[in-house]
Amino acid sequence: MKHFYMFLLILFFQSSFSQEPEKFYNIDILGNFYVGFPQKEFKSNVERNGFGINFEGFWTPSKDQPFAVGINLGFLNYGTRTRQEPFSYTIPDVFVNVTNSNNLINYHIGFMVKPNWAPFKPYVQGLFGGSYIYTETKIEKQLNNEEIATSTNFEDYAWSYGGAIGMMFRVYKSKETQKPDQVNSVWINVKASYLFGSEAEYLKEGSIKYIGSGKVQYDVLKSRTDLFGIHIGVTLNF
């Protein structure tokens, strides 16, 4: 299922950006620092916020309309725990770092309504897609943190939809004639989002319990996955 979602995103990119250059009016590429605040029963289970990054790409097809379409991709880590363990039962005098991390990747197709020309741009977004929630464990060398092995312990998917409101402030504008392959302006972007997530199963910090003899037990949680987000970053306009 994960590969199917990625195929849809690649197909969307190809169909959007393979058009003739003269048919494009402008493209916004956004990169943001992303803080996610679990809501309702998701908050009760996870008990901590997520931190990560968010990338967006929006295409405005006409200068006469304030509408843009695009995609939204975000990564959040909502819990990491590292401990030292012997490399194996037969080599107990060599230690490695073992890290459990709980992560969430959300992916959405969206639309945006914003003015086309202004030194600042208030905007609203609608988002439709889903989330991939997973916990992975990796082993690293203690000396230089070089990765030895990694494994996904638990994963699930959730559908999600929602919206966002934000503001862009222009900090740079090119004096040259607008061209499809150059940065025409740079903006500071501030945004708040809310995603209504369907029910999913997931782990959190402390959900992996070691019961001896090389065995582990998972304390699996289940709830809806609503998420409030704050995004601060930079927008490049082409």
Q: Domain segments of the chain: what residues?
A: 2-237
Residues in the chain: 238
Q: Please give the residue that has the higher pLDDT: either 71 or 15.
A: 71
Q: Please give the residue that has the higher pLDDT: either 200 or 176.
A: 200
pLDDT of residue 92: 81
1 pLDDT band, cuts 50/70/90, is low
Nearest one of 234, 140, 155, 227 to 187, comparing CA atoms: 234
The answer to whether 107 and 72 are in contact (CB under 8 A) is yes
The answer to whether 16 and 56 are in contact (CB under 8 A) is no
Average pLDDT taken over every residue of the chain: 86
Whole-Å CA distances, 237 to 27, 110, 147: 6, 18, 37
Kindly tell me if the per-residue pLDDT of 87 is higher than 90. Answer: no
User: Fold for domain 2-237?
Assistant: Porin (2.40.160)
pLDDT in tens, 215-225: 888 999 999 99
Poorest-confidence range of 51-60, 84-93, 129-138? 84-93
Q: Give me the phi and psi of 45, to 5 degrees please.
A: -80, -45
HSE of 93, CA atoms in CB hemisphere, 13 A: 0
Nearest one of 86, 83, 75 to 99, comparing CA atoms: 83
Q: Please give the residue that has the higher pLDDT: either 163 or 92.
A: 163
